[in-house]
Amino acid sequence: MPEERHLAALALSRLGELPGDIQASLVEGAVLVDVPAGGTFMPVGGPYFASVVVEGLVRTFLVSVEGRELTVRYTRPGDINGVAALYARPMTNISQQAITDSRVLLLRSENVVAIADRDPQVARILLCDLAERVASYIHALASTTLSPLHENVVRHLLDIASVDTDGRMVARLSQQELAANVGSVREVVGRILRDLKEEGLLLTGRDEIVLLDAERLHDRTWPRPW
């Protein structure tokens, strides 16, 4: 009998649209994992698995041989991670990290693949997820390679920011982490932040950046297709 909390976690995602017996099969052997902010729950080199974000904010990022990082995706409650890893060759330079305190439902990879092989409903959901990931990665590549670093910094802040209890829109990361996430260095990113601060668009603090005018900041980013 599947655990109710596993089914409740799965219900947050598209997989929750499936018939109850299929959902029960998908969560067989699944594990709920609590990951503190900054914790890495899928290390570089694997093992890799499919998962559903239940709480918090998770980033997927690439790591170069020199140790530089590039964020390729942020996922929030209900998002599915790791579908590509079910079918692709091992991706040795990718990892996942909790940006805020997070909870993740880890699914047994071989179980998900076996169910998708025999159930077209599951296969379709995974295919739709993969298609969206391809589109987002192409957009991320275009943004990184074709738009100025200034726009990449602003876009990254908007992507990661959340509203705190005081109603402020806050991106909780250090300037060093921001630089690593956009593939630059702290000194260059620091100058961009100073310029934005002088324009009254943000405030910087210890390991946080407060966005004062999200609309004006958004106007400076690469146009989004959605």
**225 within domain boundaries:** no
Residues 152 and 71 in one domain: no
Residues 89 and 193 in one domain: no
| Domain final position from 111, 126, 144 | 144
Residues 16 and 122 in one domain: yes
What pLDDT score does 117 carry? 96
Crossing angle of helices 109-118/120-146, nearest 10°? 120
Q: Identify which has the larger pLDDT, 169 or 204.
A: 204
Q: Averaging pLDDT over each range in 89-93, 113-117, 148-152, which range is the top one?
A: 113-117
Instruction: Tell me the pTM.
Output: 0.70
Indicate the residue type of 97: Q
* Range(s) of the domain holding residue 90: 4-144
pLDDT score of 225 more than 50: no
Q: How many other C-beta atoms can be found within 10 angstroms of the C-beta atom of residue 209? A: 23
What pLDDT score does 222 carry? 52
Q: Identify which has the larger pLDDT, 12 or 220.
A: 12
What pLDDT score does 168 carry? 83
Assign residue 83 the CATH number of its domain: 2.60.120.10
Residues 134 and 173 in one domain: no
89-93, 95-99, 146-150, 162-166: range with lowest mean pLDDT:
89-93
| Domain final position from 79, 110, 144 | 144
Q: Which pLDDT band holds residue 21 (cuts at 50, 70, 90)?
A: very high
CA dist 101 and 164 (Å) reads 14
Q: Which pLDDT band holds residue 2 (cuts at 50, 70, 90)?
A: low
Residues 137 and 153 in one domain: no
pLDDT score of 43 more than 80: no
Residues 21 and 40 in one domain: yes
**10 within domain boundaries:** yes
Residues 28 and 59 in one domain: yes
**224 within domain boundaries:** no
Question: First-to-last CA distance in the chain?
Answer: 40
**47 within domain boundaries:** yes
**226 within domain boundaries:** no
Residues 35 and 139 in one domain: yes
Segment (H or E) for 104: strand 102-106
Q: How many other C-beta atoms can be found within 10 angstroms of the C-beta atom of residue 140? A: 18
CA dist 9 and 87 (Å) reads 23
Q: Which pLDDT band holds residue 203 (cuts at 50, 70, 90)?
A: very high
Residues 140 and 46 in one domain: yes
Residues 168 and 82 in one domain: no
pLDDT score of 125 more than 80: yes
**Which percentage of the chain shows pLDDT scores above 90?**
45
What is the residue-averaged pLDDT of the chain? 86
**Which percentage of the chain shows pLDDT scores above 70?**
92
**36 within domain boundaries:** yes
Q: What are phi and psi of 12, to 5 degrees?
A: -70, -25
| Domain final position from 144, 170, 185 | 144
Q: Identify which has the larger pLDDT, 178 or 221.
A: 178
Residues 42 and 138 in one domain: yes
pLDDT score of 224 more than 50: no
Assign residue 175 the CATH number of its domain: 1.10.10.10
Do the bridges between strand 94-98 and strand 40-42 make them parallel or antiparallel, or are there none, so unpaired?
antiparallel
**156 within domain boundaries:** yes
Residues 12 and 74 in one domain: yes
Total domain count for the chain? 2
**204 within domain boundaries:** yes
